[in-house]
Amino acid sequence: MKKRKICFVITSPIHYSRSKLLLKELKKHPSISLQIIVGGSAILQNYGDIVSVMKNDGFEADEKIAMVLEGGSPIAMTKTTGIGIMEFATAFDNLKPDIVVVRGDRYEVLSAAVAASYLNIAVAHIEGGDVSGTIDESVRHAITKLSHIHFATNQKSKQRIIRMGENPKYVFDFGSTDVEFAALNSYEVSEKVINYLGVGDAIDTKKPFLIVMYHPVTTEIDKNREHAKNLLEAILKVGIPTIWFWPNIDAGTDDISKAIRSFRETRKPKHIRFLKYLPAEQFLGLLKKCSCLIGNSSAGIKECSYLGIPVVNIGTRQSGRMKSSNVADSGYGVKEIIKSIEMQISHGHYKKSLIYYKSGVSKKIVEKLAGAKLYTQKKFFDQ
Amino acid sequence: MKKRKICFVITSPIHYSRSKLLLKELKKHPSISLQIIVGGSAILQNYGDIVSVMKNDGFEADEKIAMVLEGGSPIAMTKTTGIGIMEFATAFDNLKPDIVVVRGDRYEVLSAAVAASYLNIAVAHIEGGDVSGTIDESVRHAITKLSHIHFATNQKSKQRIIRMGENPKYVFDFGSTDVEFAALNSYEVSEKVINYLGVGDAIDTKKPFLIVMYHPVTTEIDKNREHAKNLLEAILKVGIPTIWFWPNIDAGTDDISKAIRSFRETRKPKHIRFLKYLPAEQFLGLLKKCSCLIGNSSAGIKECSYLGIPVVNIGTRQSGRMKSSNVADSGYGVKEIIKSIEMQISHGHYKKSLIYYKSGVSKKIVEKLAGAKLYTQKKFFDQ
Amino acid sequence: MKKRKICFVITSPIHYSRSKLLLKELKKHPSISLQIIVGGSAILQNYGDIVSVMKNDGFEADEKIAMVLEGGSPIAMTKTTGIGIMEFATAFDNLKPDIVVVRGDRYEVLSAAVAASYLNIAVAHIEGGDVSGTIDESVRHAITKLSHIHFATNQKSKQRIIRMGENPKYVFDFGSTDVEFAALNSYEVSEKVINYLGVGDAIDTKKPFLIVMYHPVTTEIDKNREHAKNLLEAILKVGIPTIWFWPNIDAGTDDISKAIRSFRETRKPKHIRFLKYLPAEQFLGLLKKCSCLIGNSSAGIKECSYLGIPVVNIGTRQSGRMKSSNVADSGYGVKEIIKSIEMQISHGHYKKSLIYYKSGVSKKIVEKLAGAKLYTQKKFFDQ
Amino acid sequence: MKKRKICFVITSPIHYSRSKLLLKELKKHPSISLQIIVGGSAILQNYGDIVSVMKNDGFEADEKIAMVLEGGSPIAMTKTTGIGIMEFATAFDNLKPDIVVVRGDRYEVLSAAVAASYLNIAVAHIEGGDVSGTIDESVRHAITKLSHIHFATNQKSKQRIIRMGENPKYVFDFGSTDVEFAALNSYEVSEKVINYLGVGDAIDTKKPFLIVMYHPVTTEIDKNREHAKNLLEAILKVGIPTIWFWPNIDAGTDDISKAIRSFRETRKPKHIRFLKYLPAEQFLGLLKKCSCLIGNSSAGIKECSYLGIPVVNIGTRQSGRMKSSNVADSGYGVKEIIKSIEMQISHGHYKKSLIYYKSGVSKKIVEKLAGAKLYTQKKFFDQ
């Protein structure tokens, strides 16, 4: 029997981390031949090149695609999407996969979905149907409308995907692979690693510490620097040792980076260490131990719901997402942020929530990918 | 008061024809500054370069964009989309429109919608919510999910757009501009024009004649040549003088063109004349007079519903579209096609249908474009 | 010992034909690992997709690259070059060759040379140093200045390359692989093949016949259609059965194609058959038998010098090339062309010329490619 | 009389600075209509966006082109070239200049030259014929072979251009516009400006200080970080206050930046201030005052020859350039660098050299651009 060729697309370091279990299941499935394309910020040193990390984990990239336009601006993001389509087209045309698997809502992901659709390759999409802020909100649903098989991470999202006209037979809610990975991970992060990487003062992870993950909001493009300054100010005032991850590559990233660099230069903050990337296991090992996650990352909404980590979620980036009680929403003001952090720290860890968790999600997805009847011509499913 | 800059994107000759009234209204509106970008097959000689046609009508292109990859193949279509995004990005970034107006479901249109979205420019989409075959079905809805203002052409489509999570306040059904144009057009086409253009025998348009408009089906990429051969065979057998329009530029176009060329070479058909493009008024003048339109063009579904022209609609390309009684669906078999044509000819013209018609649609669209409150951040509208 | 990875780039059908012996030598060399990238018009059906031809000959493409922009215009040619660079960059980055081998002066070739140079890969260039008309004249020398190893086809060209500042140790004149292939080829073309392919009347190749190969001149972009019409007129008047090859893909190609199509439609020429592509052996088998080659192809200058075929070389495209006595230059006028053809036919075949011929050229090139010490940093060689 | 449309291409901040006089002359010439395209690193915040600087100087960009791929790697540089060609093609096709003026040897410049050539637009090239290290050495001469009018900066370069087969009638040596600008500039830089910009300790420019301009060497891609570390070490040991400019955008830039960041983090150097960009006048004001320029910038070779500034020129980047006595070449070793700096400081300023200087160069270039007979078809000029 001919194996089904399944091409997994990885375009950011975090994206790899969250897909690891899935990749392992894909690799070992007897009727699947796994292809991997790595591109976007996943192969940029400045964001944490994951090709060597992957090699250590036993995965090889079939193709590496440099596609990110410089500038951290809307136009850079736009052209990257165009370049991505051209490049994925050639890659898919040469690899000839039966299914292309994409996840999330980033522009490189849209590129892959567009390329596969036009090449009459079935597209499987993980994490569709969620609601959020930024341009991701538009793009996520556009990807849904280009995809043939949908793996939502929760019931509400599944219902939204169906509502958008997708065939219910191809819409599944097996839970979140991110959360599954977080649930299974038992790695204990070492202080040495943390303090070997990045810049800033050393952090003692045996004492209370915070994590910040703050990404640009593409639809508030003129405000990112100011908002980042507010957050830096708040973290400085709170005074608890903090591990701060540099922003992802979305439009506005340079504004946030500049805010950080200028802050470091002029305020010389003690007790803040800035990291670019941690391999998945180490990141989760670190996350489990932190007193509070602050920022606007979906990790606060998803992984932390299961781990019970208190989260201060700032601004609109995650607005609309299904949230557990561990999340305290905050506006962009310095005082409001400080108040929320203090409240969360005084509360301490939350009870484990299962809103995004189901066991065996990666296995179930891979079974569907291996066995689902494939089709090309989509048809709006009128109810 | 600063005028609102509205950028209209034209990427195929037919697209221009159908948008003419709209363009006139946009141009004369006192609070609108009209920008026009022309690209895709609209600037390719082989498909009927419309830049000079536009000039005659009083419109200038602010930017011309060469973007079509050669090959008439899925990969050509895919890369064209990528090139389009890169090019529209630069154009929009330099023109800085407040709204980008796109229509339909073609890949160049997806390019423009993606570029505008990522640049935080409001996108207005005409003809969303329809259901059809080919990749257009996926792309049309993806464009909807990237757009901010929607001008559906009928109630059903309006409801689908809302169902997909768009804000009902920004979804309008003013009817079809194509049909409005067809309704208002009183041009009498001259035989001289027809027989001056194109190749093949002269057609006497005062006697009964057929029109064929047959485009590739991108999701049946291996069948286009065979299906075209069937249709050629059927038309040959029917024996009535026929004006046949070359296919549009979608993947599969070269297969259809080859079928035609080979057919002309080996069968030397009498009474079939092949045309590339007719300016809108002339095309409609011709359409009004024809005994039956055969193929898979949306003109059969839309313009012909109002004009009452009998239509034989072949295959899946228009499957799902709302149709009036003038349309007889047919499979790809030679005999079936012949039978359908004979039936339609014996029936003769139909009564005017209003399913796609409303009066004043172009004016109403332009009023909305001029006055609507613009927004960038989309939000899935949960019901 | 690690094999040297040598990547051969093929971007047009004729390019493949002329490199066949070279490819065979590369493939069988024990210390070379051959990589092949096929792109440009070499994978376009309309110009004679050579991938299946290659397969029959035992060669596999490591990568196929769709890169040709539609339009047959200067802007199409320009953007194709840009797309080519992006695509070759990814391909080379993934294949990691030690040497990239390119030949000639086309824009896709410039793409490959630019990409390899910037990636610090040694570039070997075949056919540098020649002088001709069109943009090829500029591009050929630009490629020389980007290349590290030069295989000129004649002494004059070798001297020009050295004069341009290239290191004489890396400039070789082993003769022309095209001519070597022509000299070794003993294929007898069958009439059946000729008359199975293409369009137009059947040609009896046992009686006298002409061949036309007429390509656009990119630097006379407004004249190509007119010049092609003249040539068609002349061929019609001469009245001898003619096999006419469609033009290559350079800017102006659509103008020539249109001239041909319109001529066929209105003049219904007898005794002209139009072909797209013949595999190398068959083409040479045909060439050997023809009474005169007319047009502006380099085959008239190179292969025909050895084969002694009378050639009428029209216009500026080959101006400056070293020519043997078999070539009669002609202007673009109908009468002048007719006169030249008549003169050449009355002369009959010429004596074999060795200006482009040396034996064993392919083997010698491959030995150099296998053994030459490679370098990256170029240095203008002051004399 | 119709004005000649001359399109000046600016792709890096330094490039603008050095072309300022030329731009002023172009703008005021009565028979020239000036068009400006700004792209590449010239519009990237991180390298010193010059659009606002230009505005202050009275210049408007007709088009802005985002084209730089992220990564600071060979593949980023390669793809940027490809993107550049596509984008310049559209821009030139819309602006329709009579001449495109480019200068230097960067990849964005190659893009513009390729695009203009293929579009049959005359290319004027400033600074051809020089010899240097890195890929620039190849690219500079490739641009020469694509150009129609040449403005060398010195006799040797003029002779090389002619030797490469260019028509001597179109090769001029009017001297260097960079040096002309340096010679005319009388700006006194203020300490406040210097210490307001950039990061690191304040510099007292009334006391002795050094300037470092150290760019990546693309053909020594694995060594850039190590070489930068050596230089940092040397500068630290020398101990004199130093203004260090961040590297340009060439492949290897990220390696140098990382070396700097890591050095700042671990060694906390006193007396080194890091700047991104200074407007031309201020930069020259600063340069005049410095005790020694260290690195591998062409400013050390050109501007400093006239200004008499002692220069330590490290490594291969400028190898082959014509140099005056103010330049001391050095290898990459820490000790060697230190020794060279000490030697240059003890020597002090040099006598003004005129090897690159001629008066009135900008005016003369503009006169030629306004009056030269233009041609498209190039022809190797055999001697």
Residue numbers in chain A where pLDDT is lower than 50:
none
Cβ-Cβ contacts under 8 Å, D252 against chain A: none
Contact flag B73-C79 (C-beta cutoff 8 Å):
no
CB interface of A with B, residues 284-343, below 8 Å: 316, 319-320
Site from B62, B80, B86, B96 to mutate, D interface, most D CB atoms within 10 angstroms? B86
Q: Does A73 touch chain D (CB under 8 A)?
A: yes
Q: What average pLDDT does the segment B201-205 reach? A: 88
DSSP state of B97: -
Residue B214 reports pLDDT greater than 80:
yes
Domains and CATH numbers, chain A: 4-175+358-371 (3.40.50.2000), 191-347 (3.40.50.2000)
Tell me C327's DSSP state: E
Reported as a pLDDT band with limits 50, 70 and 90, residue B376 is very high
The CA–CA distances, whole Å, from B250 to A377, B49, B135, B257, C22 equal 15, 16, 10, 12, 38
Neighbours of C327 (CB within 10 A): 22
pLDDT for B88: 98
The arithmetic mean of pLDDT across residues D67-80, rounded, is 94
Within 8 A of A261 by CB-CB distance, chain D residues are 199
Q: Any chain D CB within 8 A of the CB of B372?
A: no
DSSP code per residue over B32-63 = EEEEEEEEGGGG-GGG---HHHHHHHT---SE
- The CA distance from C168 to C161, in Å, is 8
Portion of chain C with pLDDT greater than 90, in percent: 84
User: Which residues of B fall within a CB distance of 8 Å from C69?
Assistant: 66-70, 83
Over residues D148-167, the mean pLDDT reads 97
Q: What is the mean pLDDT of chain B?
A: 94
The torsion defined by the Cα of C294, C298, C301 and C305, in degrees rounded to 10, comes to -90
Band of pLDDT at residue B125, cut at 50, 70 and 90: very high
> DSSP readout, D62-109?
SEEE--PBTTSSHHHHHHHHHHHHHHHHHHHHHH--SEEEEESS-HHH
Q: Which of B222, B237, B244, B213 is nearest to B314 (CA)?
A: B213
Give the pLDDT confidence score for residue D197 in this predicted structure: 80
Phi, psi dihedrals of residue B252, rounded to the nearest 5°: 110, -10
What pTM was computed for the model? Answer: 0.94
Chains A and C form CB pairs within 8 A to the count of: 29
Residues of A in contact with C89 (CB under 8 A): 66
Residue from B46, B70, B273 to probe the interface with C (highest C Cβ count within 10 Å): B70
Question: CA-to-CA distance for A211 and A206, rounded, in angstroms?
Answer: 14
Q: How far is CA C75 from CA D100, D115, D116, in A?
A: 15, 8, 10
What pLDDT is attached to residue C229? Answer: 97
Task: Indicate yes or no: CB of B69 within 8 angstroms of CB of C66.
Answer: yes
Position B189 confidence tier, pLDDT thresholds 50, 70, 90? confident
D135 touches chain C (CB under 8 A): yes
Assess whether pLDDT exceeds 90 at residue B188: no
* Inter-chain contacts counted by CB atoms under 8 A, chains A and B: 168
Burial of A58 (0-12, 13-18, 19+ CB in 10 A): exposed
ipTM of the complex: 0.93
Q: pLDDT at position D360, please? A: 95
- CB of A368 closer than 8 Å to CB of A322: no
Residue of A nearest to D197 (CA): A262
**D165 and chain A in contact, CB less than 8 A:** no
Predicted local distance difference test score (pLDDT) of residue D124: 98
The per-residue pLDDT for B378 is 96
> Do residue C94 and residue A66 have CB atoms under 8 angstroms apart?
no
Of D115, D126, D122, D125, the residue nearest D98 (C-alpha): D122
Calpha distance A367→A25 (Å, rounded):
9
* Contacting residues of D for A254, CB less than 8 Å apart: 45-46
Interface of B with C in 95-124 (CB under 8 A): none
Contact between chains at C90 and A89 (C-beta distance less than 8 A): no
Distance from chain centroid for Cα D309: 17
- Residue C131: name the closest of C379, C304, C340, C301 by CA: C301
The shortest C-alpha distance from C246 to chain D (Å) reads: 22
Which chains have 3+ CB pairs within 8 A of C?
A, B, D
Give the C window 31-50 contacts with D, CB below 8 Å.
Answer: none
| Higher per-residue confidence, D47 vs B167 | B167
Q: Would you state the pLDDT for residue A382?
A: 83
Q: Chain B: list its partners (3+ Cβ pairs within 8 Å).
A: A, C, D
pLDDT of amino acid B48:
73
> pLDDT of C124-157, one tens digit each?
999 999 999 999 999 999 999 999 999 999 999 9
Question: Does the distance separating the beta carbons of A117 and B380 come in below 8 Å?
Answer: no
- What is the structure's pLDDT at D190? 76
Q: What pLDDT band is residue B143 in, cutting at 50, 70 and 90? A: very high
Residue C337 burial (10 A CB sphere; 0-12, 13-18, 19+):
buried
CB < 8 Å to C83, chain A: 86
Contact A66 D79 (CB under 8 A): yes
Percentage of residues of chain D with pLDDT beyond 90: 84
Q: How confident is the model at residue C274 (pLDDT cuts 50, 70, 90)?
A: very high
| pLDDT on residue D5 | 98
Q: Establish how many alpha carbons lie within 13 A of residue B131's alpha carbon, considering only the half-sphere containing its beta carbon.
A: 21
| Helices and strands (H and E) in chain D: how many | 16, 14
Report pLDDT digits (tens) over B165-183: 999 999 999 999 999 999 9
Give the pLDDT confidence score for residue B193 in this predicted structure: 74
